[in-house]
Amino acid sequence: MHPAEAGKPLIKFNHCKKYIYSFSVPQCCPLCQQVMGSRKLEEAPVSISNPFTNGHQEQCSFLLRPTQGTFLREYDGRSDLHVGITNTNGVVYNYTAHGVRRDEAGWEQSVSIPLVQPGMFGLMGQWDKYLEEFSASGAWLPQRYEEDHHNCYSYTLTFINCVLTAEGKGQLDKREFTEKYVVPRTRKASEYITLYRAVEGRGFYVTDRPEEATDPPEGGGVC
Contact footprint for Zn ion (CB under 5 A): 15-16, 29, 31-32
Of residues 130 and 204, the one with the C-beta less far from Zn ion: 204
Cβ-closest position to Zn ion? 29
Q: Residue 26 or residue 90: which is nearer to Zn ion going by CB?
A: 26
- CB nearer Zn ion, residue 164 or residue 206: 206
- Burial class from Cβ neighbours inside 10 Å (0-12, 13-18, 19+) for residue 162 reads middle
Residues constituting the chain = 223
Which residues, at least 6 apart from 178, have a Cβ–Cβ distance to it below 8 Å?
none
Task: Give the shortest CB-211-to-Zn ion separation in angstroms.
Answer: 19
Please report how close the Cβ of residue 209 comes to Zn ion at its closest, in angstroms. 17
DSSP 168: T
Among candidate residues 79, 107, 81, the one with its CA nearest the CA of residue 93: 107
Nearest distance, CB of residue 52 and Zn ion, angstroms = 30
Closest contact distance (angstroms) between CB of 205 and Zn ion is 14
Q: Which residues contact 221 (CB under 8 A, 6 or more apart)?
A: 60, 114, 115, 116, 117, 118, 120
Q: Which of 130, 124, 123 lies closest to 93 in space, CA to CA?
A: 130
**Are 55 and 49 contacting, i.e. CB atoms less than 8 angstroms apart?**
no
Judged by beta carbon, residue 20 or residue 123, the one nearer Zn ion is: 20
Give the residue with the Cβ less far from Zn ion, 129 or 202. 202
Amino acid found at 175: R
Closest CB 16 distance from Zn ion, rounded Å:
4
Residue partners of 126: CB distance under 8 A and separation at least 6: none
C-beta of 46 vs 136, nearer to Zn ion: 46
CB of 32 to Zn ion, least distance (A): 3
Beta carbon of residue 199, minimum distance to Zn ion (angstroms, whole number): 17
Q: Which is nearer to Zn ion, 19 or 23 (CB)?
A: 19
Strands (E), the chain: 11-15, 18-22, 46-47, 61-66, 81-86, 92-96, 99-103, 111-114, 205-207
